[in-house]
Amino acid sequence: MVNWAIVVGINQYPARAQQNPLNGAVADACDFAEWALDPTGGNVAPERLFFWTYPWPAPSPDRLGNYLAGPLPNWYHEQLGAAQPDPTRAPMAFEITTTIEDAGRAAYASDYGDNAAERRVYVFLAGHGIRARTSERNEETCFLAGDFAPPKGNLTPGLIPCDSFRKALLHKRFSEAILFTDCCRSTTARSSLTARQVSDFDGEPILPWSIAFAAQDGEPAYETAAAPIRGAFSSALMRGLRTHRPGPLGDLHADPLRDYVQASIQDFTNSGQMPNLLYRPDPRGPLIVPGRPAGGGVVVNTPNLDGPSLDVSALALGTRLVLKGGDLQPVKGIGPFTVAGPSMVLPSLPIGLYAVEVNDGSGRYTMFAQPSQGAIRVE
């Protein structure tokens, strides 16, 4: 498998786009690019990574910093044909779609046939989004690129219909497409605002794909409330990509990634935001990232996961509590605890299922999953 990636993050849109500035989209894109360049992550060679954020990121000593300091692959340019990404502005819709579609087309043309290498493309788009009608009669979630502006005719520039983009990537270009979009889906464009066509669409491909949206259809996406500000979805996604390896070989498919991100996003926002991830083929979806051979099916846990909060206001002061793990044995080194107030915070715990037992002979217990959503009421 040979991997490509295109990574875009836009915090600041031109005035004509009339979009509020964001704070986390660029950081999210940098984080994803860092993961993409990691041989144990996305495993994308620098010459196959197309990266563009606005503002442009500050120099850094990591993989992305080294990448940005070196020669960058050219992007499609309307006047010049090809050019380096312009750090003084956000990329336009055509630049995003044509750059990676041309790369895929070239790879397909040079390596075609039964023995051709598999080609996976990662797409990461962070910024604003709306729902809009496309010229091909569909209504889709559209990412807002840097040229988003009120239309002079009936077609609105600067919109990337995500699902159509996905189909185009699989049309004689890549053999697998993995898309992540961290943008709102809550605002709908009136039907007169049709998205200008930016890809060549061609039916429903049967190749493997997954497409992740930050929120459910019609719902907004949020950034984290506390610094460093990031997209809540991207935060959960990146933690999942880096740490969640539930497969027998430590691999991560779309299905368990969806489960993880849906469960984990509550650690980054209390808005009720619920990501959506669609994929083919059933039941697991494509392989998002292979695990290390030594992974052995062990869940790799996040070291700094916050400990869960317990609401113990229904219990008498002095009540003893025992924390048990998934095997119903007391968790070593943690507890037992004594209720000394209406609430308590447990130490950081690995991801998994737990039970808090009331140690008074009543047999009462409360089960919870870590990471947990809000305070766990123990009665």
Partner 1 sequence: MSNDPTNVRPLYRLSLTARPGIAIRLLNASFQEIARSTESLQTQQPEGLYLVEWSSAGQRSQTMVRLDADHDGTEIAFDPSDRETDSALEPNASKKAALVDAVSTAISRSSTSSIVMIVSIEENVAIDVQDLSIGVFDRNDIMMRRTSDEVPFLELSPRERVYRYDVKPGRHYIGFRSLLGENLGQSVPVLAGRQTLVFLTVSQTNLIVANGERFGEEMSIGVDPVKTVVITIRGDEENYRVRERVRLAGMLLHDLTNRANSLSNDVVSVLDDELTDPLLRLYGALVALLWFERREVSLSGDVTQDDVATTPAQTWVQRIERWISNAGQLGLPTDALAALWKLARLEPTAFGGEVVVLWPTRLETPPMLECAWRWAIEESVLRPEAVRGTAVVTATARSSGGTSPWLCWRQSATKARSIPGAIAGNLNRDLSSLVSDVARKASRLVEAAQSMPRALGQLEALGTEVQTTALRSLQATFPTMDRSATADIKQMAISLGLPLTQLRKRLARTSKALDVAVATLNAGTDSAVVSAKSLRAPSEAPGLSRPVDDKEDPQKGRFGGQHRRGGFELWASFNDAGSRNWTSITLGVTGPGADGEEVQFHLHDSFKPPLAVRRFKGEAATLKVTAWGGFTVGVWIPAKAVELELDLASLENAPDIVRLR
Residues near partner 1 (CB under 8 A): 16, 18, 78, 81, 94, 98, 130, 133, 135-139, 150-151, 153-156, 186-194, 196-197, 200-204, 206, 218, 246, 256, 259-260, 262, 276, 278, 280, 282-283, 297, 299, 325-328, 351-355, 363, 365, 367-369
Query: What is the C-alpha to C-alpha distance for residues 89 and 87, in angstroms, rounded to an integer?
Result: 6
3-state DSSP assignment of residue 337: strand
Query: What is the C-alpha to C-alpha distance for residues 44 and 33, in angstroms, rounded to an integer?
Result: 9
Q: Which H helix or E strand runs over 256? A: helix 254-264
Query: What is the C-alpha to C-alpha distance for residues 142 and 163, in angstroms, rounded to an integer?
Result: 8
3-state DSSP assignment of residue 321: strand
Considering the complex, what minimum distance in angstroms separates the CB of residue 62 from partner 1? 30
Question: Can you spell out the DSSP letters for 259-312?
Answer: HHHHHHGGGT-SS----EEEEESTTT-SEEEPPPGGGTTPPPPPTTPPPPEEE-
Considering the complex, what minimum distance in angstroms separates the CB of residue 27 from partner 1? 26
If the CB atoms of residues 38 and 139 are measured against partner 1, the closer one turns out to be 139
If the CB atoms of residues 326 and 342 are measured against partner 1, the closer one turns out to be 326
If the CB atoms of residues 69 and 367 are measured against partner 1, the closer one turns out to be 367
If the CB atoms of residues 55 and 151 are measured against partner 1, the closer one turns out to be 151
| Contact (CB, 8 A) for 211 and 277 | yes
> The dihedral of CA 270, 18, 8, 227: what is its sign?
negative
If the CB atoms of residues 63 and 133 are measured against partner 1, the closer one turns out to be 133
Considering the complex, what minimum distance in angstroms separates the CB of residue 294 from partner 1? 17
If the CB atoms of residues 87 and 218 are measured against partner 1, the closer one turns out to be 218
Considering the complex, what minimum distance in angstroms separates the CB of residue 367 from partner 1? 4
Considering the complex, what minimum distance in angstroms separates the CB of residue 265 from partner 1? 14
Considering the complex, what minimum distance in angstroms separates the CB of residue 139 from partner 1? 4
Neighbour count for residue 219 (Cβ, 10 Å): 18
3-state DSSP assignment of residue 94: helix
Q: Which two tokens stand for residue 284?
A: 């697991």
Considering the complex, what minimum distance in angstroms separates the CB of residue 96 from partner 1? 12
Query: What is the C-alpha to C-alpha distance for residues 119 and 282, in angstroms, rounded to an integer?
Result: 20
If the CB atoms of residues 49 and 331 are measured against partner 1, the closer one turns out to be 331
| Contact (CB, 8 A) for 249 and 217 | no
Closest CA to 198 of 148, 248, 129, 267: 148
Give φ, ψ of 365 to 5 degrees.
-155, 160
Considering the complex, what minimum distance in angstroms separates the CB of residue 144 from partner 1? 10
| Contact (CB, 8 A) for 172 and 105 | yes
Q: Which two tokens stand for residue 118?
A: 């598999």
Considering the complex, what minimum distance in angstroms separates the CB of residue 223 from partner 1? 18
If the CB atoms of residues 234 and 276 are measured against partner 1, the closer one turns out to be 276
If the CB atoms of residues 201 and 268 are measured against partner 1, the closer one turns out to be 201
Amino acid at 276: N
Query: What is the C-alpha to C-alpha distance for residues 352 and 104, in angstroms, rounded to an integer?
Result: 40
